[in-house]
Amino acid sequence: MQPWMSTPVPQLPGHGPPLRLYDTAAHRIRPTAPGPTARMYVCGITPYDATHLGHAATYLAFDLVHRYWRDAGHDVHYVQNVTDVDDPLLERAQRDQDDWVVLGMRETALFREDMESLRVLPPQDFVGAVEAIDEIVEVVSKLLAYGAAYRVEDPEHPDIYFDHQAAAHFGSESGYDEATMLRCAAERGGDPRRPGKRHPLDALMWRTAREGEPAWDSELGPGRPGWHVECCAIGLHRLGTGFDVQGGGSDLIFPHHEFSAAHAEALTGEYPMAEHYVHTGMIGYRGEKMSKSTGNLVFISRLRADQVDPMALRLALLSGHYRADRSWSSEMLDEAVLRLDRWRRAVARPAGVPVAETVHRLRAHLAEDLDTPGALAVLDAWAAETLTRGGRDVTAPGHVQAAVDALLGIAL
Ligand code: ZN
């Protein structure tokens, strides 16, 4: 698929310390150690509805990773998928008597616009499940041949499942016990009660054709792919194993990321699929997690239509820590508007207070597990001092403007 347009990223003098991120699998903050090209895979949208603030917060967090690595001198190979065929998309299309292909295209186009307006740097590879069917079929076929996947005993619908015991490190990504895994699988699109499976946890890899559903002809028989194998195939095909970061919202910890990792291990014999598993917190609104089931979604496109400055929106979402579950409120946006105004007035001054220490501290906060509240406080201090004391450094406003753009993605 065509990704969205990029914005230029200013080059700053010097570098910060290596980026450290919380790794879900290790239960602690660890340094990332990318090679000349850092490799990152972030799970993309299922395009049945518009991008809401929860999605935006996730992609913004990984945009900061992307930007920090670039600032550190790395190239970044960033891959993101689009789950453009799956149950939620088909169900929504049926509910609205819409064509699922057109619905997916429409919402993907809107997602691109939302990301562009928020100045999220685009992935190098933006890949739809439909365009990766051949890659996915190859993975499933190999896992069947290796005995790591099997067909359920159902003559009408002999769907293919992954035997979770085929990966020696199964469970190491989430660290969940079996009861938690079963609960999460049931809540998040798994089917622990499906008859004919070897084990309730085993995950769908290939769903054989059903009346009224799209299906692709393949050596597996006509059908469509499961979700976890989609990300495994798309990620491995472009990044290989042992890539630097696998990312997504914390609701992807299990089963999604666990199974993508297990598929990769059973397929390649290599472990781990990703060096870091990085997860973002959930955004709540009016006391509940923002989700389609509670109906409390705040859409980026709606806010844009209401003339909200996307930079204020970006700043509001960055004002909380990416890993924290946090609530959205209109007060957050009001505060961000005021903050943005102070920063813009400060960089519009002909001179400011010196910035070397400011940029150093900005990088240091971001390097420590993307401490954006700390990073924003550093910039608040510079802006407040410049606005009250003035300062004599004529290069300072330009430097701050470039640093805020390069590291935080905010155009002042
Ligand atoms: Zn994924």
Per-residue pLDDT of 295-343, as tens digits, reads 789 999 999 999 999 999 999 999 999 999 999 999 999 999 999 999 9
Q: How far is the CA of 204 from the centre of ligand 1 (A)?
A: 14
Cα maximum dimension of the chain: 80
Q: How far is the CA of 228 from the centre of ligand 1 (A)?
A: 6
| Distance of alpha carbon 141 from alpha carbon 147, whole angstroms | 10
Q: How far is the CA of 231 from the centre of ligand 1 (A)?
A: 5
Q: How far is the CA of 289 from the centre of ligand 1 (A)?
A: 20
Q: How far is the CA of 324 from the centre of ligand 1 (A)?
A: 21
- Whole-Å CA distances, 234 to 57, 83, 193: 23, 11, 28
Q: How far is the CA of 46 from the centre of ligand 1 (A)?
A: 10
CA 82 to the chain's CA centroid: 11
Q: How far is the CA of 312 from the centre of ligand 1 (A)?
A: 29
- The predicted pLDDT at position 287 comes to 83
Q: How many residues does the chain have?
A: 412
CA 60 to the chain's CA centroid: 8
- The predicted pLDDT at position 291 comes to 75
Q: How far is the CA of 404 from the centre of ligand 1 (A)?
A: 30
- Whole-Å CA distances, 96 to 91, 274, 293, 314: 9, 38, 16, 32
Q: How far is the CA of 301 from the centre of ligand 1 (A)?
A: 23
Q: Is the dihedral of CA 195, 199, 201, 203 positive or negative?
A: negative
Q: How far is the CA of 123 from the centre of ligand 1 (A)?
A: 14
Q: How far is the CA of 79 from the centre of ligand 1 (A)?
A: 11
Q: How far is the CA of 43 from the centre of ligand 1 (A)?
A: 4
Q: How far is the CA of 402 from the centre of ligand 1 (A)?
A: 33
Residue 247 phi, psi dihedral angles, 5° rounding = -130, 160
Q: How far is the CA of 174 from the centre of ligand 1 (A)?
A: 14
- The predicted pLDDT at position 301 comes to 96
| Distance of alpha carbon 44 from alpha carbon 254, whole angstroms | 16
Q: How far is the CA of 185 from the centre of ligand 1 (A)?
A: 15
- Answering whether pTM is above 0.95, one says yes
Q: Is 38 left (phi over 0), alpha (psi -120 to 50) or beta?
A: beta
Q: How far is the CA of 116 from the centre of ligand 1 (A)?
A: 21
Contact indicator for 354, 317 with CB cutoff of 8 Å: no
- The predicted pLDDT at position 140 comes to 98
Q: How far is the CA of 337 from the centre of ligand 1 (A)?
A: 33
- The predicted pLDDT at position 20 comes to 98
- The predicted pLDDT at position 296 comes to 84
- The predicted pLDDT at position 286 comes to 85
Contact indicator for 390, 351 with CB cutoff of 8 Å: yes
Q: How far is the CA of 240 from the centre of ligand 1 (A)?
A: 15
Q: How far is the CA of 286 from the centre of ligand 1 (A)?
A: 28
- Three-state SS letters, the chain: CCCCCCCCCCCCCCCCCCCEEEECCCCEEEECCCCCEEEEEECCCCCCCCCEHHHHHHHHHHHHHHHHHHHCCCEEEEEEEECCCCHHHHHHHHHCCCCHHHHHHHHHHHHHHHHHHCCCCCCCEEEECHHHHHHHHHHHHHHHHCCCEEECCCCCCCCEEECHHHCCCCCCCCCCCHHHHHHHHHHCCCCCCCCCCCCCCCEEEEEECCCCCCCECCCCCCEEECHHHHHHHHHHHHHCCCEEEEEEEHHHHHHHHHHHHHHHHHHHCCCCCEEEEEEECCEEECCEECCCCCCCCCEHHHHHHCCCCHHHHHHHHHCCCCCCCEEECHHHHHHHHHHHHHHHHHHCCCCECCCHHHHHHHHHHHHECCCHHHHHHHHHHHHHHHHHHCCCECCHHHHHHHHHHHHHCCCC
Q: How far is the CA of 129 from the centre of ligand 1 (A)?
A: 10
Contact indicator for 40, 75 with CB cutoff of 8 Å: no
| Distance of alpha carbon 93 from alpha carbon 57, whole angstroms | 26
Mind listing the pLDDT tens digit of every residue in the chain (412 residues)? 999 999 999 999 999 999 999 999 999 999 999 999 999 999 999 999 999 999 999 999 999 999 999 999 999 999 999 999 999 999 999 999 999 999 999 999 999 999 999 999 999 999 999 999 999 999 999 999 999 999 999 999 999 999 999 999 999 999 999 999 999 999 998 999 999 999 999 999 999 999 999 999 999 999 999 999 999 999 999 999 999 999 999 999 999 999 999 999 999 999 999 999 999 999 999 888 777 777 789 999 999 999 999 999 999 999 999 999 999 999 999 999 999 999 999 999 999 999 999 999 999 999 999 999 999 999 999 999 999 999 999 999 999 999 999 999 999 9
Contact indicator for 303, 336 with CB cutoff of 8 Å: no
Q: How far is the CA of 313 from the centre of ligand 1 (A)?
A: 25
Encoded tokens for 127: 């890949």
